[in-house]
């Protein structure tokens, strides 16, 4: 009986101590979760203004807006913090956030407590998940329409273009905005530094074997470099931030030439993020692709209704449709059409995606009757 009392006392002490830790750190988790809630409710600018002075000095409002758009933070739903570490006026939370489609995103948030005793976000880091897949909704309408609030322009609308054959093999370089001579070479050198090169290789290893026509002898050649934002230079004229997309073409496997699109988003004094948009020649930006994935899956599921795990393995820009429309960033952009190849459950389905940009974002439509079962 005495032993049971001792064990019971130990359990009570442990529970009280455990509860005490979470009570003491509750304000920290509230601050982190509140930051993402602000992005979803009031926009990236409001969340940026609520962050710590160190956060605001290390990244511009436009840079954070790009980061928020690339990670779908406007669709934030909830957060769960499973690991908390506090040391003095600094704290680190590790856990995940969940978007409105139910997809979790592993996240790490660092916070700092100011002189006013308020915890504020110091940095945010996400573990990129690569090409996304999710189950289509069981009650989706036959013709799907969704709105994607994309802030960055489609990749196929560069304002300034330069053709070049670099020693490393990049055949085509372009920029959404004009850049000084030598910028492309600096960006290329920046992307080849060991950290970013290693992060890029991790993305290749993750998906290359799932691409159509892949073989073990496939070699990758950099075929296109696109500068969407920046670059931002530091005091020593080195690149400290920007948004870049580099496309790599596979060779050495017969007629198969898959294209991998790797994005690098970075900001001064912030860890860089390297992730993929869908393979192929799609000009939809990564957020639009993610937002419209359920539509694509529902259209493909019309041909393989028993499969709930269809993912995009290739895309093909087909043609522009209709007259130019003024988009969310003020540019004129024409609607366009793409073909997406989706695989799953030993099947392959080709679907047709129609994209319509306007002042509120980009909407997408896919008609199941246009889907073709290839395998």
What pLDDT digit, counting tens, does each position of 207-245 carry? 788 888 888 888 888 888 888 888 888 877 788 888 999
DSSP 87-127: ETTEEEEEEEEEETTS-EEEEEEEEEE-TTS-EEEEEEEE-
Tell me whether strands 119-126 and 336-344 are parallel, antiparallel or unpaired: unpaired
The position carrying tokens 């905005």 is 177
Choose the final residue of a domain: 224, 253, 277: 277
- Please choose, from the candidates 249, 274, 280, the residue with its C-alpha nearest in 3D space to the C-alpha of residue 262: 274
Instruction: Give the per-residue pLDDT at 133.
Output: 25
Percent of the chain with pLDDT over 90: 15
Q: In this predicted model, which residue has the larger pLDDT, 175 or 12?
A: 175
Q: What mean pLDDT is reported for the chain? A: 77
User: Do both 43 and 113 map to the same domain?
Assistant: yes
The position carrying tokens 């690569």 is 130
What pLDDT digit, counting tens, does each position of 196-212 carry? 888 888 888 887 888 88
In a domain, residue 182? The reply is yes
User: Do both 184 and 252 map to the same domain?
Assistant: yes
Number of domains in the chain: 3
User: Do both 290 and 149 map to the same domain?
Assistant: yes
User: Do both 170 and 23 map to the same domain?
Assistant: no
Q: In this predicted model, which residue has the larger pLDDT, 154 or 298?
A: 298
Instruction: Give the per-residue pLDDT at 140.
Output: 30
Prediction pTM value = 0.56
In a domain, residue 365? The reply is yes
Residue 33: pLDDT over 90? yes
Cβ partners under 8 Å of residue 24, min gap 6: 86
């Amino acid at each position: 009986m005495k032993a049971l009392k001792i064990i019971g006392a130990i359990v009570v002490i442990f529970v009280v101590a455990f509860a005490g830790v979470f009570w003491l750190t509750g304000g920290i988790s509230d601050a982190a979760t509140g930051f993402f809630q602000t992005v979803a409710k009031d926009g990236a600018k409001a969340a940026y203004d609520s962050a710590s002075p160190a956060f605001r000095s290390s990244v511009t409002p436009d840079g954070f807006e790009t980061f928020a758009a690339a990670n779908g933070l406007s669709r934030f739903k909830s957060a769960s913090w499973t690991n908390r570490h506090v040391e003095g006026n600094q704290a680190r939370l590790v856990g995940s956030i969940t978007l409105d489609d139910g997809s979790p995103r592993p996240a790490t948030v660092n916070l700092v407590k100011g002189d006013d005793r308020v915890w504020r976000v110091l940095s945010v880091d996400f573990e990129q998940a690569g090409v996304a897949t999710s189950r289509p909704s069981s009650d989706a309408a036959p013709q799907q329409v969704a709105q994607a609030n994309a802030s960055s322009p489609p990749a196929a609308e560069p304002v300034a273009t330069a053709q070049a054959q670099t020693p490393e093999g990049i055949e085509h370089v372009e920029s959404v905005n004009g850049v000084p001579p030598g910028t492309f070479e600096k960006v290329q050198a920046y992307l080849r530094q060991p950290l970013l090169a290693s992060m890029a290789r991790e993305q290749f290893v993750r998906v290359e074997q799932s691409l159509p026509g892949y073989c073990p002898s496939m070699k990758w050649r950099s075929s296109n470099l696109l500068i969407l934002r920046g670059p931002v230079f530091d005091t020593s004229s080195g690149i400290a931030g920007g948004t870049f997309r580099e496309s790599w073409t596979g060779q050495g496997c017969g007629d198969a030439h898959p294209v991998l699109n790797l994005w690098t988003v970075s900001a001064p004094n912030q860890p860089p993020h390297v992730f993929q948009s869908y393979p192929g020649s799609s000009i939809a930006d990564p957020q639009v692709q993610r937002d419209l994935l359920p539509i694509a899956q529902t259209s493909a599921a019309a041909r393989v209704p028993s499969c709930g795990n269809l993912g995009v393995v290739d895309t093909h820009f087909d043609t522009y449709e209709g007259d130019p429309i003024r988009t969310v960033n003020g540019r004129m952009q024409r609607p366009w059409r793409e073909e997406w190849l989706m695989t799953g459950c030993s099947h392959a389905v080709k679907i047709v995606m129609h994209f319509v940009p306007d002042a509120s974002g980009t909407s997408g439509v896919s008609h199941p009757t246009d889907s073709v079962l290839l395998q």
